[in-house]
Amino acid sequence: MSNPTACLLIIGNEVLSGRTRDANLQFLATRLGEMGIPLREVRVIPDVPGTIIATVNEVRAKFDHVFTTGGIGPTHDDITSECVAAAFGVPWVVHEESRALMAEDYARRDPPVEFNAARLRMATLPLGATPIRCAMVTAPGFTMGNVHVMAGVPRIMQSMFEALAPSLGRGVPVVSRAVHALGVYEGNIAEPLGAVQARFPGLDIGSYPFYRAHGPQGFSGGGVALVAKGTDAAEVEAAAAAITQMLRDLGAAPIQGEPPPV
């Protein structure tokens, strides 16, 4: 049985213009991998209704889960929620339970927060959506079909994701083992590494050159990180052992696991 698949849509002009550096991809990639729902594609798209609607419809048909970040605040450029309603062909309507929770929260603040038309937009959801409530804000994210709509602000997104996670189901966790070797060039190990990949066709074996200018003793300088990844933990261990042996045969001094952070 193969794992469910996930796609992430990062919605926002600010990432495409370079103003904001996305901080959600790596968090979601890591958490989804741990849950056995590997991320298979990411798209960054602008705040353009036609683009959002078409992209949501394309990827929700292609992947088991679609996660979106960004565009669910109260301002005019926050259009994700109404675009998801349009993508599903359902009305975009005030979600009464969410409205009541927000009204209660706003009234309780000191000074009270005005529940104006802009804030009411955040209680407006595609008809049939299930709200995602998190500890950090009262305005909800939501799940519509297999599309999970979350905030773009990283700490709110993370809080929404953890609230959502128990309902997602799980696949077989993706595990990985890294082997690092200093002073080794990719061009020198490509052939034997390809042979290791051929022995383990069910795994992804990747090669990533690195350079650390000021690492602790034994870890400064250049080298390669060789990473075996897959859902069969025993196979991953066997591949890491094969990579380690291959490096030793070439006269290198491989280190299993991640080197200390620099």
Does position 249 interact with a copy of itself (CB under 8 A)? The reply is: no
- What is the contact mask toward a copy of itself in residues 154 to 193, using x (rule: CB under 8 A)? --------------------x-x--------xxxxxxx-x
User: 141-144 and 39-45 as β-strands: parallel, antiparallel, unpaired?
Assistant: unpaired
Only one of the segments 27-35, 84-92, 140-148, 236-244 lies at the binding site for a copy of itself (rule: CB under 8 A); that segment is 27-35
Beta strands in 2-140 (DSSP E): 6-11, 39-45, 65-69, 92-94, 124-126, 130-132
Q: What is the DSSP letter of 151?
A: -
Among 61, 75, 213, 251, the residue binding a copy of itself under the rule CB under 8 A is 75
Q: Is the peptide bond before 111 cis (omega within 30 degrees of 0)?
A: yes
- What is the contact mask toward a copy of itself in residues 120 to 159, using x (rule: CB under 8 A)? -xx------------------------------x------
- What is the contact mask toward a copy of itself in residues 51 to 70, using x (rule: CB under 8 A)? x-------------------
Beta strands in 14-54 (DSSP E): 39-45
Amino acid letter, residue 95: H
- Segment 202 to 221, residues that bind a copy of itself, using CB under 8 A: 204-209
Q: Which residues, in sequence order, are bridge partners of residue 39?
A: 6
Among 227, 228, 247, 252, the residue binding a copy of itself under the rule CB under 8 A is 227
Residue found by looking up tokens 């491989």 in the block: 254
Among 74, 202, 221, 257, the residue binding a copy of itself under the rule CB under 8 A is 74
For the CA atoms of 18, 24, 28, 31, the dihedral, rounded to the nearest 10 degrees, stands at: 130
For the CA atoms of 89, 94, 95, 96, the dihedral, rounded to the nearest 10 degrees, stands at: -150
Site residues (CB under 8 A) for a copy of itself?
10, 13-22, 25-30, 33, 38-47, 51, 73-77, 113-114, 116-119, 121-122, 153, 174, 176, 185-191, 193-194, 197, 204-209, 227, 229
